[in-house]
Amino acid sequence: MHRVVEVKVVGRYTVWVRFEDGACGSLDLSELVGQGVFAAWKTPDVFNQVTIDPETHTLRWPGGIDLAPEVLYEDLKQARV
């Protein structure tokens, strides 16, 4: 299982993440904005409240929004290719 250990908002709907194995980089999540639970992100202040869930070690936002760490890891790997 991949665990997020650091996150920073670095742009509009873009976060920089670091995983416990050292893999890190920026992820543009703008394609999710407005879809289902991600409608809350239409207000940038909500997106900017990203934290790391202490139990699942993935990104989470107010309102119970989260993203699977495995998906984030794969997206990061694809972005680096």
Angle at alpha carbon of residue 42, lines to 39 and 44, rounded to 5°: 135
Domain that holds residue 21: 4-80
Q: How far apart are the first and last CA of the chain?
A: 21
Residue 80, pLDDT > 80, answer no
Read off the pLDDT of residues 39-73 as tens digits, 9 standing for 90 and up: 999 988 999 999 999 999 999 999 999 999 999 99
In total, how many domains does the chain have? 1
Distance CA 31, CA 56 (A): 23
User: Where does the pLDDT of residue 81 fall: very low under 50, low under 70, confident under 90, or very high at 90 and above?
Assistant: low
CATH number at residue 48: 3.30.2020.10
Task: Tell me the pTM.
Answer: 0.91
